[in-house]
Amino acid sequence: MMPNYTISFAGTAVAVEYEGERPAKILQFLFEAVPVSDSARPEIVYRLHYDDQADLFTLKKDSTPLLQSRDEAAVADVLLGSVCHQLAWHSRGGLLFHAGGLAWQGCGLLLPGMMGAGKTTLTAWLLGRGWHYLSDEMVFIANHSDTLTALPRPLNLKHPARSVLKPQLDYISHHTGQIYSTPTTDLVSPRLFNPATRFSAPPLWLIIFPHFQAEGQFSLQRLSKAQTGLALMKCLVNARNLSGHGFAGISRLARQTPAFKMNYSHFDQIGDTVEQLLAEE
């Protein structure tokens, strides 16, 4: 029997069977901090094989071929994207958000946003300021809970983020051995931004909807409960699997959690704004 990672998250699970040192290296990088389970029944089983003689990786989802490649970064990128998609598709038992998540002094920050909102870059920057990493993409809140349970995957940074983050951490030139780079993205360990980061499940304390706009003005707007609920619904990825499409849970979070919309064009505009908001709330 092939060894496997069974990844249990957000009320569901997937497994990745593998053989060989190079597949093991990829899985260790992708899922080092992700909860694993020997008892969870996976919805999907991936199989990652490496042929030494052909120098070729083969990735399958159940029996369906996904990729053949000699490039470890390409394999890591495709596998991570597919695993995240399947976890989101089958998630149940709570609210799964397209969101970043961090912790500061035991308090949880949720950064919901769709693609292009700037949440991954903001997450990386806050990590560099000493915050602790939860996720840059998927955060789950179980029914009747306020605990943030996140998927602590590598940060998936688009190449333009290299110049944006350069004043904080020149991670590309100094840590190339710990990064998987594709032609468009870098998969980066959160420990490169904060080596002391601790993976945890803090209570939700604050919600910020980030919006990056090049050369835009900084603004911070407190949202009403109705505005918060509507914005959260737009970032809920498993509504189809939830009773009432998750409306009751969204309403509960909107009533009890302060929320803000933050527009920014560079990090100097933000300064210690986020830390101050946590302290005030």
How confident is the model over 160-211, as pLDDT tens digits? 888 888 755 565 556 665 789 999 999 999 988 898 999 999 999 999 999 9
pTM above 0.85, yes or no: yes
For residue 119, CA distances in Å to 109, 167, 169 come to 12, 18, 17
Mean pLDDT of 48-58: 97
Handedness of CA 226, 147, 99, 38 (dihedral sign): negative
What DSSP character marks residue 203?
B
Nearest to 159 by CA among 120, 189, 113: 120
Mean model confidence pLDDT for the chain: 93
Cα gap 20→38, rounded to integer Å: 20
> Could you give the percent of the chain with pLDDT greater than 70?
96
Cα gap 160→257, rounded to integer Å: 32
Per-residue pLDDT, 192: 86
Mean pLDDT of 58-68: 97
Edge-first strand order for the sheet with 179-181 is 155-158, 185-188, 179-181
Task: Delineate the domains of the chain, giving CATH numbers in brackets.
Answer: 4-90 (3.30.413), 94-280 (3.40.50)
Cα gap 150→98, rounded to integer Å: 11
Tokens matching residue 261:
């919309």
Residue 59 makes CB contacts below 8 A (sequence gap 6+) with: 46, 47, 48, 49, 65, 66, 67, 68, 75, 78, 79
Mean pLDDT of 19-46: 90
How confident is the model over 219-231, as pLDDT tens digits? 999 999 999 999 9
Residue 240 makes CB contacts below 8 A (sequence gap 6+) with: none
Read off φ and ψ for residue 32, nearest 5 degrees: -50, -45
DSSP SS3 for 126 = helix
How confident is the model over 102-143, as pLDDT tens digits? 999 999 999 999 888 889 999 999 999 999 999 999 999 999
Cα gap 205→142, rounded to integer Å: 15
Q: What's the number of CA atoms in the CB half-sphere (13 Å) around residue 26?
A: 27
